[in-house]
Amino acid sequence: MRAFQFTLCTLLCLLLPAMAWAGFTETLPQGTFLFDIGYVHSVVENRWDDDGELVPLIDPIERYEPGAGKQGILVPQVRAELAMIAPQVYYGILDNLLFGFGVPIMLYSDVDPRFEWERGDYQWNLGRSYSEDDFWQWAGSMGQPEPQPWRGNEGTLGDVLLGLRFRYSDYWSWFDKHDMALAMMLIGALPTGTPPDPELVITAGTTSWDLHANGEFGIHLSYDKFFKKSLDNRLTLGFEVFYEFFFPREYESSTGEENPLMLTYRPYVGKRYTIDGGDFSGFSVQTDIVPWRGRARQTWLTRSNPDMAANLPPLLTLTLRYTFTHLQQTDWQSNSEIWDWEREKLWKPGYKNILFGQVAFSLLRLGIPLQPYVAYRNLTWIPGKNARAPNVLLAGTKAILKFW
């Protein structure tokens, strides 16, 4: 039986752009820390298939009885839910050089297989075709339990993310003069995540590959256009292109000890196999709109530098972003080309169309050094291809501290 072990998608990469106050090129003032604690709640029930159709996460699984045709078709209507907190710290090394890191900590992963059953051929020795109950009785008699809803990853780390953003256009006054900025961002993932348990049918890992929201090393080139004078700095337009790599990772194959019918791979796959995830590349366009700047009042935060009050972030910023992510083919390498292909065909080249919206409040102007925000990211509204389609709600707050 083809395994339908799978991993969850979520939106860790959402966190990195959030390090900016607005736009793709923003950094922190030198010596300033920004702490961000976010709660991420992701739900995925569908994926975009090779034809661009929104289909259940797992393909139907046809089951055969040796020499007696089709038992039926298992149709998993999997629903996966992930919750995590994502503490992040950013530091302004220079006014135009920002360093940040994030530590995703899973609160839980829930995966409910929600099997449905389509009856197959008539089985004369049963006097009927297999019902779903028949099928699991049959499977159980061969040592294969029915996969149950799974909860795990409680308190488990994902891959720690590091980021460095360098706004190099600061060295040319022409850009500032024309309300423009250019930046480059490098992100990298430390392999602190946990791969899925190979012996479980329903499970989820927490590595970057498993979450499939960002690569393990990425380069982003960004451009922002401000309208400081003409629109009173209430609008920022941004554009970014990126390339994110996945590096080959070794995984352990399943022996079938717990799921003999579904996961007996090791004799022909080998003890270990490699997944080289398909790299991401694409672009984002973004607009930040300031509908409410708020009054520049003097508070304890600005008493040492009264001019600073006017430069604090606006009370309310709306961010809208569209991201197109092209996905390259993912490559499995084991001792069995057949097994590899059965996985690779679900991870052919494809793309994601991601819509993102955020409402960010900045209370700095009120003398409170917090910036609460709520965001939503959607992958189901615009069709994609060969990609899972999680929808994510994110809420958190940032706090800025400067030790001087």
Partner 1 sequence: MLAASFTACNYGLLAEQPDYYEVMELYGTPYERGLQHGQKYANKIRSLFTMLLTSSIYPYLNREHLDVASVMLRYQEQEYMDGRFCSKMMTESAWALAEYIPDEYLQEMQGIADGAEMPFEEILILNTFFDTLMGFRSITFFIKLVQGPWLLTTEFLGGLNTDGQDNDGDGDIDEPDEGLADPYEPLWYASMVEVPTDTRIRFILDDDKEGVNPESIRIQLNETIYTADHPSIQTAPYARDGKTIEVIFTPPDGLPAASVVSIVLQCTDLLEIVRVPPHHPRSMRDERITFTTVGYGQKTWEVANRGYDDGRTQPPSLGFAVRGSATKTGDPMLGHNFAMLDSDTTHKHATLFMHHPDQGKAFAVVGYTGIVWGFSGMNEDGFTFLYNSSDTLNNSFTKGFNEGLIFARLLPSGLPVGMMGRELLAKSTTVNDGVTYLEETLPTFGWNFLLADAQGGITAVELDANILGRDEGWAFSYTPDTEDPENVDQWGQPYGSVGPDDLFMASHYQKNINEIDYEIAIFPVSPQRFWSSFYFRSVRAFYNLALQIKKHYGELDLGDMIAILSRNDLEDQRDSMNSVVYEPAKLKMHVAAGQVPPSDGDYEEFDLGQAIAEGGNQ
The contact set with partner 1 (CB under 8 A) reads: 1, 62, 64-67, 69-70, 121-122, 124-128, 130-131, 133-135, 137-138, 140-144, 256, 260-261, 264-265, 267-268, 278-279, 281-283, 324, 326, 328-331, 335-341, 344-345, 347-349, 351, 353
Structure tokens at 312: 């604090």
CA–CA separation, 116 and 114 (whole Å):
7
Question: Residue 42 — φ and ψ, nearest 5°?
Answer: -120, 135
Choice between 141 and 305, CB closer to partner 1: 141
Handedness of CA 7, 89, 357, 230 (dihedral sign): negative
Shortest Å, Cβ 240 to partner 1 = 11
Shortest Å, Cβ 341 to partner 1 = 5
Choice between 264 and 302, CB closer to partner 1: 264
Structure tokens at 221: 């080139």
In the three-class reduction of DSSP (H, G, I as helix; E, B as strand; rest coil), residue 389 is classed as: coil
Choice between 329 and 380, CB closer to partner 1: 329
Distances in whole angstroms, Cα of residue 152 to Cα of each of 106, 358, 389: 9, 29, 21
Shortest Å, Cβ 80 to partner 1 = 24
Shortest Å, Cβ 241 to partner 1 = 8
Choice between 113 and 120, CB closer to partner 1: 120
Choice between 121 and 197, CB closer to partner 1: 121
Choice between 108 and 283, CB closer to partner 1: 283
Shortest Å, Cβ 287 to partner 1 = 16
Closest to 24 (Cα-Cα) out of 224, 179, 180: 224
Closest to 385 (Cα-Cα) out of 6, 55, 49: 49
Distant-in-sequence, close-in-space partners of 133: CB < 8 Å, separation ≥ 6: none
Structure tokens at 261: 């019918």
Asked if 126 and 55 count as a contact pair (C-beta separation under 8 A), the reply is no
Shortest Å, Cβ 282 to partner 1 = 6
